[in-house]
A and B are shown apart, each in its own frame.
Chain A
Amino acid sequence: MRELTFLLRKEFLQIFRNKLILRMIFALPLIQLILLPYAATYEIKNITLSIVDNDHSEQSRRLINKFTSSGYFRLTDNSATYNQALDKVEKDEADLIVVIPQEFERDLIRQSESTIMIAANAISGQTAGLAVAYSNSIIKDFNNEIRTEWLPQSRFNTIPVIEITNSNWFNTQMNYKDFIVPGVLALLVTLVGYLMSALNIVKEKEVGTIEQLNVSPIKKYQFVLSKLIPFWVLGLAVMTIGFIMSFVVYGIYPEGHFWVGYLFAGVYLIALLGFGLLTSIFAETQQQAMFIAYFFMLVFILLGGLFSPTENMPDWARYLTYINPVSYLIEVMRMLVLKGSSFWDLRLHFLVVTGFAIFFNGLAIYKYKKTN
């Protein structure tokens, strides 16, 4: 134990002496928490809209009005033909084209039916999907409006109607930032913890100081612990900064108990740091460690459900998310912050992450050889 305290003192001294690392620890949360929620928004607004109105009737103007006043669309173009509008899409000046046919109003009244064409730039499937969904609901609303105006009340009541009411729980304002911020917080803790632990041992290898430790009588577990504990403390410190920032900047305060969050992050960090140490033991130079870390970070984050829901993934990818530690932290952060889930609600998550912690650290201690 006494040896460990000396090693720990050394690690902390080194961390706090490295201005670059300190700057990273404080700059990263600031930049990410301030920029990312604004940049990483799938809250789709301001979809640029090109309208081809071939009817120029009262009803067509009324429909256009409904589009522009919905808050989702920004009318940037009025083209005479569909092809002209297509040209605008090609130049990225419009995302969505709405074509109102000739005789739209007359057909609607006389034939009781008319068709509107919607064309979306689907290069980004997500934007296109939502843009079409918004358009459909605007048109449906419009449709209901004219029906109530034109139909006699009695006729309406003879048809059985299923009334659908809808309520949104946990994020009643449907605020996209409330969704993204806890995820970014998880990302932050992961980035700092993993990168720093991955680069640490390999640096001692590159500089040659590790040999001096290898010939000394310190035990393997003491060495591994001396590398784990400082980054564990740092990781939790970064999380604290993150919680404070998200409260100050976004007014987000967790629904659940803080201790559940810290307990989970504590276990998670042990697992993550174990993985970082493994990376560090495996790599020979800092450059290599950086690349390996970069690779895993990217895969973990892409498959972690930060931006795209994991349940939409095909089965093989969904199974991969079960062994992806990052996806657990992202999920737990969201459940804790937005839903206020309790320890008991999260017991399975705790169990899995504890398993990760034992596995990665066991492997790291086993793989770290003082002798070769």
Chain B
Amino acid sequence: MNKEIVIKTDKLTKRFGDFIAVNEISFEVYKGEIFGFLGANGAGKTTAMKMLIGISKPSSGNAAIAGYDVYKQTELIKRNIGYMSQKFSLYEDLTIKENIQLFGGIYGLSDDQIKTKGESLIEKLGLQDEADKLVVSLPLGWKQKLAFSIAILHQPKIVFLDEPTGGVDPITRRQFWDMIYEAADNGITVFVTTHYMDEAEYCHRVSIMVDGVIQALDSPEGLKMRYNAQSMEEVFLMLARGAKRSD
């Protein structure tokens, strides 16, 4: 695997008053990698991710995303990443095509690019008949797949996915992961948070956050070996059991 570093954090910290949501986390993510970011509810995953994508200012520590500084170069970071939030974040009162045009336009694709990329996206998802329908009318699983496709429409260096498969059925989840692999094969680094431990097995490497701190970071195999566990679920339960805080 190519060892080019695309995300590097050094003692990255976020405090809200007395509360330390994220406590001095340091890690590196390599190009083309699928990096799983695990943790119980309230462990600080989403807060950490928001600092990485430039919509939340760190309290201390350093981080570079695609080589850009999270303090000073947030706008440059934004050009080079894609993001799909926990809340479903396409415009439900716009059609599929209109959403593609909007986000393609915002990320500076040309009209031709929007047209060709949009068409191939729709075709790939098999949404030809729905292309002019409002997004609100789509089933949840399709919306998620569509949101992911739109998040990587502009070929970002890294795509951040915040619990992308919440609430969808196992088959759709499987298809979703196929899309993630395809993106990674195309050189897009994938940074993903998830609740599902079977999904953690699909990642190249995972980190497990407990109470704002990264407790473990390795490949799924490495972790299982180290904690002498059969599955990632066991590893996770072992580490998360000590957690003091939850929702």
Contacts and interface: CB of A to CB of B under 8 A. Distances in A.
Interface stretch (A10-18, A22-30, A96-104, A349-357): A10-18
B87 interface: yes
A164 interface: no
B108 interface: yes
Interface string A345-372: 0000000000000000000000000111
B76 to A, nearest CB: 8
A370 to B, nearest CB: 6
A66 to B, nearest CB: 65
Given A207-B87, A209-B89, A216 B105 contact: no
A215 interface: yes
Contacts of B98: 9-10, 13
A7 B106 contact: yes
Contact of B102 (A7, A18, A219): A7
Given A3-B105, A3-B106, A3-B108, A370 B55 contact: yes
Interface string A252-289: 00000000000000000000000000000000000000
B57 A371 contact: yes
B interface residue count range (under 10 / 10 to 19 / 20 to 34 / 35 or more) = 20 to 34
A219 B90 CA distance: 19
A68 B20 CA distance: 81
Interface in A38-93: none
A6 interface: yes
Interface in A187-233: 207-209, 211-219
Given A6-B102, A10-B94, A208 B89 contact: yes
Interface string B87-118: 11111111000100111111110000000000
Contacts of A3: 105-106, 108
Contacts of B74: 370-371
B78 A208 contact: no
A215 B55 contact: yes
A219 B160 CA distance: 21
Contacts of A207: 87, 92
A3 B114 CA distance: 13
A242 to B, nearest CB: 28
Contacts of A2: 105, 108
B15 interface: no
Nearest to B83: A215
Contacts of B160: 215
B79 interface: yes
A210 to B, nearest CB: 9
Contacts of B75: 217, 219
Contacts, number: 83
Contacts of A216: 78, 103, 106-107
B93 A372 contact: no
Contacts of B192: none
Interface residues of A, number: 26
A69 to B, nearest CB: 62
Interface string A332-356: 0000000000000000000000000
B55 A14 contact: no
- Which of A5, A212, A218, A371 has most chain B Cβ within 10 Å? A212
Contact of A14 (B56, B85, B94, B106): B94
Nearest to A204: B91
A371 B54 contact: yes
Interface in B56-75: 56-57, 74-75
A371 B59 CA distance: 13
Contact of A371 (B56, B92, B103): B56
A101 to B, nearest CB: 74
B145 to A, nearest CB: 16
A10 B75 CA distance: 22
Nearest to B56: A372
B180 interface: no
Given A2-B108, A207-B87, A212-B85, A9 B55 contact: no
- Which of A14, A209, A215 has most chain B Cβ within 10 Å? A215
Interface of A: 2-3, 5-7, 9-10, 13-14, 17-18, 207-209, 211-219, 370-372
Which 6 pairs from chain A and chain B are nearest by CB?
A: A6-B105, A208-B87, A212-B89, A215-B83, A217-B78, A217-B79
5 contacts: A6-B101, A17-B134, A208-B88, A209-B89, A211-B87
Interface of B: 53-57, 74-75, 78-79, 81, 83, 85, 87-94, 98, 101-108, 134, 160
Given A14-B94, A213-B106, 5 more contacts: A6-B106, A7-B105, A211-B55, A212-B89, A217-B79
